[in-house]
Structures are given as structure tokens and as C-alpha cells.
Amino acid sequence: MWLTGEEQQIIDIFWDLAGEVEPFPRSLERTIAMALPIAVIKMPRLALGSIETWLRSRQIPYSFNCESRFVRGCLVSYGGKGFIFCDGADPYDEIHFTLAHEVGHFLADYWYPRQKAVSKFGVGILDVFDGIREPTITERVHSIFESTRIGIISNLMDRNDASDLVWTVEDKADKIGFGLLAPPQDVLKGVNFSQSQFLKRQEFLSGRLVHSFGLPAFAAKAYSNILLRYIGKGPSWAETLRAG
């Protein structure tokens, strides 16, 4: 349902690593600490420059490849570990959504490819992922490296000049984030979609996502729209014409 088999597998692995499934509504903070080698750092008015300063103060000489700007969240990973930075001034529900999205990046773009490579080549392959050595010819031709960055990585992108590939990566992180906070099967379970108007159905499902699953309003509206269309409860042809 909506999530691909790989995305659902990543979510299932996360809960297996945590050793328990967090009840709703989920903040994920404690669960992340139990499941993954990730530190969550909250900073007011989060900006790229302040992240660089924080990293340098801990002898991590990393710089983003763009000018400093304010961000809501960011992931920096190296050596199998990661830091998730969040704007601590954001409302709690928005912080939790940021955490879910960044964990989605860590799992799908970093942790999962490393585990797949280890299963094929052994733990020695991690030196390639960490930029310590170059891959051998055998390793180089393997498809695991086609979409996986090597060395210190971050999920940062310039959204004014983003490629289709970048948006695909962001969409995957969003899907995993939604799946962690509000799994589709739980959101839709026992829901009556008898309302005749799409906007009414969307309003109802958005409210459920906010009040029962803790999503921020903007994310709840987008997610409800996605789920309703996926299960065939999107706007009718006439409603689509009126909206246009």
C-alpha cells in the first residue's frame, strides 16, 4: 500500500532495531536513540553556518557547498553515525515531522545502502563508503555505488535548482517519515469515507492525522490528499474541473 516493499522493509527494520513500536502520537526522539547511532541536536534559528560551527567545535571539519541559510532540519552522517539538526524554536509537531524526514534520509540514503554493501562484500567495504580507500574494480562495477555518496554526507540541497533525482530522494524520505509517524494502514483503519465531497473527506482525514497521529497541519493536509487519491477517494471528475 503506497509504500514500496523496500520502504516498508526499512521502516520495519527501524522498529526491530528499536526493540519496540512507539505508540501514537509519536515523537521518535527516544526511539531514534534506541534504534540508531544518531544524535539529535536542537538549535534555535537553525542555519547552515551554525551547524558548521557546531561541527568544527567538535573537531569535525565539514562545510556545506553553499552559502549559509536558515533550515528546519539537516542530516550529517559519517562512519555509520549521524547528527540530525532541528530548529528547536519550531513547534513540537513540526520538530517531530523534521525528525521523521531526516531519519528517512539516514535509513534510505545512508544506512540501508551500507548494509546492502556489507552483505555482499563484507565489512571492509565500509572503508570505501567512508572515503578511506578507493573501490576495487569489482566493487566499482557493482550497482550499489550508483546512487550512494561516499565520505561525509548531508541531505542538504538547493531547492531553487533541484534535479528530478533530488526530488525523488526527498519524496522517498517523506514517505518513510510519514510511514514512521502515521502508517497508512493505521491511518485508514476503520475510517468511514461516506462524505460525498472530496474536501470534506480531506478535512476529516487531516484532522485525524493532526489529533491522533500528531502531524503538523501542513503535513496532514498533504498526506491526506495523497492517501485519499491512492485509495480511489480523491476528487471526482466534476470536482477536478471546478478546481481548475
Q: Which residue has the higher pLDDT, 204 or 242?
A: 204
Tell me: the pLDDT tens digits for 192-230? 887 778 999 999 999 999 999 999 999 999 999 999 999
The rounded distance, in Å, linking the Cα atoms of 37 and 87 is 20
Tell me: the pLDDT tens digits for 100-123? 999 999 999 888 888 887 887 788
Residue ranges per structural domain of the chain: 5-181, 184-244
Residue 56 is which amino acid? Answer: R
Half-sphere exposure in the Cβ direction for 66 (13 Å, CA): 14
Of 81, 107, 89, the residue nearest 28 (C-alpha): 107
Average pLDDT over residues 47-73: 88
Tell me: the pLDDT tens digits for 151-193? 545 554 444 444 555 667 788 999 999 999 999 999 999 888 8
Tell me: the pLDDT tens digits for 3-33? 999 999 999 999 999 999 999 999 999 999 9
Task: Please tell me the chain's helix, strand, coil percentages from 3-state DSSP, rounded to the nearest 5.
Answer: 55, 10, 35
* Nine cell digits for residue 67: 552559502
| 188 and 212 Cβ atoms separated by less than 8 Å | no
